[in-house]
Amino acid sequence: MHASVTAIDLCQHCEGCWIPLEDATEGWPNGAAAKPTVMSAGARKINPPAHRGPILAHVKTQDIMCKWKVASSTGSLRPLHLSSTMAVKITASPHKLSNRSLKELLNELTRLYLANRTRVSRSIYLALFLVVTTRIRNTIKEQKAAGARAVAARKRGAVTAPAASETTGRKKVELNREFFRSLGRLLRICVPGWRSTEARLLGSYSVFLVLRTLISLYVAELDGRLVSSLVKGKGKEFAKGLVWWMIVAVPATFTNSMLSWHQTTLALRYRTRLTHHVHNRYLHEMTFYTLSALDDRIKNADQLITVDVSRFSNSLAELYGSLSKPILDLIIYNWSLSRSVGGEGLFAMSLLVQLSASLMRALTPPFGKYVAEEARLEGEFRFQHSRLIDYSEEIALLAGHEAEKDTLDKGYFTLIKHVNRILRRKFYHGVMEDFVVKYFWGALGLLLCSIPVFFQVPGATVGVGGKDRTESFITSRRLLLASSDAFGRLMFSYKEVSQLAGYTSRVSTLLEVLKDLQRGHFEKQLVSSASTDANSAVLSGRGEEEEGEDIKFEDVPIVSPNGDVLVRSLNFHIGPGDHLLIVGPNGCGKSSLFRILGGLWPVYGGKVRKPPAEDIFYIPQRPYLSKGTLRQQILYPDGLYEMRKRGVTDDDLMEILKVLGIENLLDSQLNKPISSTSTPSPTGLDTVAEWPSLLSTGNQQRIAAARLFYHSPKYAILDECTSSVTAETEQIMYTEAKRRGITLMTVSHRRSLWRYHGYILQFDGIGGYVFGRLEAEKRLALEDEREELEGLLRGVGEVERRIGELEAGTG
């Protein structure tokens, strides 16, 4: 090495360096790309060789480490270390002082980063991990505190009569700890175990999701090769790429179809599991009745079971693919991108995307709450129409069609107002979301894809030559678009998660209420009189129940549906054969007594002894006729299997119908097809028809009596069950029932029924009652005498008026 300077630091960011003239006169290769040029007295400017690579230089005034030197006349570069004693004074041009200082600062920072790249990356990832962990921990603490407050509030409101604000307030739908707990309970119902059909479907669904991502990754690389061969004009490579494109299309289309099939099948399986579970709870021990009569928390159980369960199942099945596929795509695509463009650019872009995504999430409206509210309004609107159908006759007789129209219009406009509000929120949110996802993130993606073209990033695998540039850019661009689309779908899935939260809240609330009802916990808005201390004590208590051959009430309170205590302490006792007649004004507690006997209402106090449920049969004034054949109407709730198990034949059923005098009904109406699905039989028992609309109320009551005679229970509760039949039919019904050994408990105001009963329970309507033996003949004589005297009293006024007229005429 010569004593003079033979090498200088070269940088692509500057045009030349200043060195003393005497230090540059020796050792400079002839024909080199850098030529000395006399700029001023005592100095020459040395232009850098013709190289424009990303070369970083480090210059010190006392200790120079020259990294490159001109090795030959071709201008190629190679490393060279100079002695520390060789000092060169570098002087920058005055008009480039600020630019050189900034460039040197950037070069110094870049050198420090590259020297400590591993430690810096680890520190950043550790800091991110700590931030995320802290945020998750704080969120869990907040959710635990909120859950504890909710449990405490629920315990405070666990009485039978909650406050009005608690019953009318709606649960706020949020993605909180309660949501994930409720979702977990529903998932355990939908996927009961790892060996279940649903678990196997989820496994195969996951396999196809991974396969689809791998195929998309290969398609991105193939797309890059196709465009590169097209730009370079290589027809053979382009044709080969097209052949592979068509080959890949076969597994790609099959995979997409399988994903769609799995999603639909999972939704059906989820709905089947949930529907069976809800039906088991809803139809267990009269829960369906207590839900509507003794609890106010669920207003539209039919919609929850039929509509919301279906929507939850579809949303859950769709959300699995909407979440797992984007997450998988992000992991694989970002890993591939980091190999192409380096991890630094990808990290910076991810940070900007995360910041913008956090801003979007903060500005996103509560769509889950909106969905739950829309479902509630839809249910109320449907309930209003159902009520109109149920009470159509009463409304028509009262000419209430205009009032009902106003009610329906108000319900519909309330629903539409809420839907329009949701549409406005979705519009503004969609504008913001499209701008950020499609354009802002797209610009970041273009910037990221340009890094391998303009810079040599450490750790990147893409060359800088023109040979791979087009292919690399297209592949990176395709991967970036796929990754951006995956992240966008992940962002869009937040709305789907919010909708799922709404459905989860409604279905989970239904299951919780059904569970509470089975435990005997009811929440109902009560009347004002029920809020007194005495009534509250009665409603909060529970009595005892035991099975026996007789019926006995000891100090049992009778409570109305709205919580008003009608009788504070009822006592009576009847045994088999002690036929009981129950009379009293409306609302005195007759129906409540039967609901307690039927197990529909809880025993709020005292002690009740009664036979098992199968030994008590109830016949209301308007019998329930199910959908099915005539035989099924008689056997209900039994079926053909139970009928044969009892040893009953169709001939026995026909004998029952003949006793009631409706065998002619079979000959005239039921022996011909009444619906397209009916098939007449020799007896007519297999005929299917709309029985409530086909039969008159009297014939329906006779069918109900036939049902009673088929079951022949020990006790029968008859609630005005002969109000639409003749006196002769009534006599047949009661005589036959007593002949079959059925103990009768009748609610009726007909005096003709007194002779069939031996005991009477009479309510006065103001909390009192009388129980004793009923001497029918004596009581009938007394009633006849009372009516006669009342008639005489009603005629007293007329007699007095006539006497007055006579006195005036004779005077």
DSSP states of 201-229 as a string?
HHHHHHHHHHHHHHHHHHHHHHHHHHHHH
What tens digit of pLDDT does each residue of 375-395 get? Answer: 889 988 998 898 888 888 888
Q: Give 478's contacts (C-beta < 8 A, 6+ positions apart).
A: 219, 220, 223, 224
Which pLDDT score is estimated for 749? 80
Radius of gyration of the chain (CA): 45
Which pLDDT score is estimated for 329? 72
Mean pLDDT in residue range 279-308:
85
490 — pLDDT class (breaks 50, 70, 90) = confident
Which pLDDT score is estimated for 13? 37
Which pLDDT score is estimated for 333? 67
Instruction: Write down the mean pLDDT value for the chain.
Output: 75
Which pLDDT score is estimated for 254? 94
What tens digit of pLDDT does each residue of 417-428 get? Answer: 999 999 999 899
The DSSP code sequence of 162-198 is --HHHHHPPPPP-SSHHHHHHHHHHHHHHS--TTSHH
Say yes or no to pLDDT of 147 above 60.
yes
Which pLDDT score is estimated for 46? 42
Which pLDDT score is estimated for 471? 67
What tens digit of pLDDT does each residue of 620-634 get? Answer: 888 888 878 889 999
Which pLDDT score is estimated for 667? 58
- Asked if 543 and 736 touch (Cβ cutoff 8 Å), the reply is no
Which pLDDT score is estimated for 703? 93
Say yes or no to pLDDT of 545 above 60.
yes
Say yes or no to pLDDT of 59 above 60.
no
Mean pLDDT in residue range 451-467:
52
Which pLDDT score is estimated for 491? 67
Per-domain residue ranges of the chain: 17-115, 117-155, 179-518, 544-787
Which pLDDT score is estimated for 598? 82
What tens digit of pLDDT does each residue of 493-530 get? Answer: 777 888 888 899 889 999 999 988 888 777 776 554 54
Most confidently modeled range among 137-151, 212-226, 242-256, 783-797: 242-256
Say yes or no to pLDDT of 343 above 80.
no
Mean pLDDT in residue range 725-739:
92
169 — pLDDT class (breaks 50, 70, 90) = very low
Query: CATH second-level architecture of 544-787?
Result: 3-Layer(aba) Sandwich (3.40)
Percent of the chain whose predicted confidence (pLDDT) is above 90: 21
- Asked if 42 and 3 touch (Cβ cutoff 8 Å), the reply is no
The CATH superfamily assigned to 179-518 is ABC transporter type 1, transmembrane domain (1.20.1560.10)
Give, as one character, the DSSP assignment of residue 94.
G
146 — pLDDT class (breaks 50, 70, 90) = low
Percent of the chain whose predicted confidence (pLDDT) is above 70: 68
Which pLDDT score is estimated for 337? 64
Which position has the higher pLDDT, 15 or 713?
Answer: 713
795 — pLDDT class (breaks 50, 70, 90) = confident
What tens digit of pLDDT does each residue of 733-764 get? Answer: 999 999 999 999 999 888 888 889 999 998 98
Say yes or no to pLDDT of 435 above 60.
yes
Residue for token pair 């229970």: 713
| Region of poorest pLDDT, from 19-33, 337-351, 443-457, 552-566 | 19-33
Say yes or no to pLDDT of 553 above 90.
yes
Say yes or no to pLDDT of 363 above 70.
yes
Which pLDDT score is estimated for 23? 39
Instruction: Output the pTM of the full model.
Output: 0.60
The Cα 231–Cα 247 span in angstroms is 23
Q: What angle do CA 630, 633, 637 make, to 5 degrees?
A: 145
CA distances (Å), origin 318, targets 270, 321, 492, 493: 12, 6, 12, 10
What tens digit of pLDDT does each residue of 65-113 get? Answer: 343 433 333 444 444 344 333 333 334 444 444 556 777 776 777 677 6
Phi, psi values for residue 237, rounded to 5°: -65, -35
Bond before 637 cis per omega within 30 degrees: yes
Which pLDDT score is estimated for 231? 77
